[in-house]
Structure 1
Amino acid sequence: MTKIGIIIGSTRPGRLGPKVAGWVHDVAAQRADAVFELVDLADFRLPLFDQAVAPAMGGTGGPEAQAWVRTIDTFDGFVFVTPEYNQQLPGAIKNAIDFVYGGWANKAAGIVSYGVAGGSGAAAQLRQMCGLLGLADVPTQVSLHLTSDFEGFTVFAPSESRTRLLGELLDCVVAWSAALEPVRSARAASIA
């Protein structure tokens, strides 16, 4: 069965990511077409990327990076849950993405972003990265605004329309992940 990782893209104290990702997981858990798993970057304690040999060239990093790479390898697709810091992608998710190379290829990704402007700047940067890594980013996106989707900027209260949009995003991520399975299998066979 298709396996989708829901990645919490922030590690800072007081972050809203676990609340948003929990909502994504709760909605996804009602589906029978894939298995969904929360992946919290904070659990991996990745150092700043400082590898002498890039992952694209065979670099593997230390034990934290190796655990992260092994985790990413187990998924067929992803939903990135990302905040926006100063209209940019958080350093934690950019750093984590840099530790992996082949594990992103030929998989699908959806984006759930949040922030004052709905996380649009972070989502745009993440889409650019997806393209460069061979991740097929689905066109549907959920943008959550701190002023309308959070009460007092902290209590997450998504509307019914946001939940419907999330369902559409999950439909795409699951379908695209399944459609790319033959490509992943052919790639794995050529490497073996």
Structure 2
Amino acid sequence: MSTTPLRLAVIVGSVRDGRFGPVVASWISAQAARHDRFEIDVIDLAEADIPLALPAVPPALEPDPQRPAGMRDLTERLAAADAFIIVTPDYNRSFPASLKAVIDWHFTQWQRKAIAFVGYSGASGGLLAIEQLRQVFNELDAHTVREYVSFPRYYLLFGEDGQLLAPAEPEAAAQVMLDRLHWWAEALVAARAVAA
């Protein structure tokens, strides 16, 4: 087993006003830091230029398409990651358009990498979005881990300081998810090195 930390990108999927995503991303990033086997990069999609109009040739057919200048840093950070945690709400039984756009603008950046999910919403805890994201990332040749963390009625679970009111169960779920994510990410890093 390697002692070098794997590069983990935590992606804040919501960009709308009043979003709760940064609070959830901060929490899971702290859990990953406690896990002590990841180098963490929090990527907030609200800070990137992500047009909804895609190039004429899909990124799957042209892995390095001409992207907007405001997306360059985002693309480099996605490419550098060994694993991802997607932090997503669900909007109207699906995930945010901002997240779909950034997924569709990229291809090799997701390919043969491990992905985990942390969901939050009023009722489902983001599970509806997570299930759809699994299908999308499967098409992109990424591996989504089975374990996840979910926050239904998140507004009752976090205090005004952004900390969980009852942290034991979510923290335990996060550690199981991070263990599995690390296992798969490490295996896929090794496999990509052999295939290179």
For normalisation by structure 1, the TM-score amounts to 0.90
Equivalent residues in 2 for 1:24-173 (5 A)?
24-58=28-62, 59-116=65-122, 117-146=124-153, 148-150=156-158, 157=164, 159-173=167-181
> Do structure 1's residue 22 and structure 2's residue 26 form an aligned pair?
yes
Which residue type is aligned with residue 59 of structure 2?
A: P
Q: What's the offset of the Cα at 1:28?
A: 1.0
> Do structure 1's residue 184 and structure 2's residue 188 form an aligned pair?
no
Q: What's the offset of the Cα at 1:60?
A: 2.9
Q: What's the offset of the Cα at 1:156?
A: 5.7
8 Å Cα contact 1:60-1:66 kept in structure 2: no
8 Å Cα contact 2:43-2:74 kept in structure 1: no
User: Gapped runs of 5+ residues in structure 2?
Assistant: none
Once residues 119 and 65 of structure 1 are traced to their aligned partners in structure 2, the CA distance between those partners, rounded to angstroms, is 26
Which residue type is aligned with residue 13 of structure 1?
A: D
Which residue type is aligned with residue 46 of structure 1?
A: I
Which residue type is aligned with residue 53 of structure 1?
A: V
8 Å Cα contact 1:4-1:76 kept in structure 2: yes
User: Gapped runs of 5+ residues in structure 1?
Assistant: none
RMSD: 1.9
Count of aligned residue pairs for this structure pair: 187
Once residues 126 and 14 of structure 2 are traced to their aligned partners in structure 1, the CA distance between those partners, rounded to angstroms, is 13
Once residues 49 and 178 of structure 1 are traced to their aligned partners in structure 2, the CA distance between those partners, rounded to angstroms, is 34
Q: What's the offset of the Cα at 1:183?
A: 2.3
Once residues 171 and 80 of structure 1 are traced to their aligned partners in structure 2, the CA distance between those partners, rounded to angstroms, is 16
Q: Secondary structure at the match of 2:95?
A: coil
Q: What's the offset of the Cα at 1:186?
A: 3.6
Q: Secondary structure at the match of 2:30?
A: helix
Q: What's the offset of the Cα at 1:64?
A: 2.5
Once residues 66 and 53 of structure 1 are traced to their aligned partners in structure 2, the CA distance between those partners, rounded to angstroms, is 18
> Do structure 1's residue 4 and structure 2's residue 8 form an aligned pair?
yes
Q: 1:122 to 1:50 in 2, by over 3 A?
A: same
Q: Secondary structure at the match of 1:29?
A: helix
For normalisation by structure 2, the TM-score amounts to 0.88
Runs of 4+ in 1 over 4 A off after TM superposition: none
Q: What's the offset of the Cα at 1:69?
A: 1.9
8 Å Cα contact 2:27-2:163 kept in structure 1: no
> Could you report, residue by residue, the CA deviation over 1:8-37 in whole angstroms, capped at 9, with x for unpaired residues?
001111100000000001111122222111
8 Å Cα contact 1:49-1:98 kept in structure 2: no
